[in-house]
Amino acid sequence: MFRTGEKADFDRMLDDILGKAKRQADRAAVQVEHEASARGSLISTGTAIVMDERLTPIHESALADVMRLIVQFSERTGIPVPELNAAAKPKLESFMAAGRRVRTHGPENAS
């Protein structure tokens, strides 16, 4: 999958995974808001439930991709998994916090 690399390569791949997931989640959140607005139920609890149902698979997929990246990158480079976990942790925390903001305040307030 990759040649031996450095942490900068790992960071770039991690950013790519999380960036794609964020864009996908933002599009899904906008779609949910548009659908709810068209029904006149934008502030309904049902909208929050639908938002969660649409965003959870996106976040789960991104986390699985990141876990796979960590293992494969470690196997390829010899960089220990805990070291890669530590490098990924701040970006994952930021990604998950943005996801929580999208769920509660909409995609325009997630940044």
Q: Which residue has the tokens 């990158």?
A: 73
Tokens of 101: 């903001």
Asked if residue 17 lies in contact with residue 65, where contact means CB atoms within 8 angstroms, the answer is: yes
Report the pLDDT value the prediction gives residue 83, as an integer from 0 to 100.
95
Q: Per-residue pLDDT tens for 25-42?
A: 999 988 988 888 787 766
Report the pLDDT value the prediction gives residue 77, as an integer from 0 to 100.
92
Query: DSSP alpha helices (H): ranges in the chain?
Result: 7-39, 45-77, 81-105
d(CA 43, CA 50): 12
Domain ranges, ordered by start, for the chain: 7-105
- Judged against a pLDDT cut of 70, whether residue 95 lies above it is answered with yes
The DSSP letter of residue 3 is -
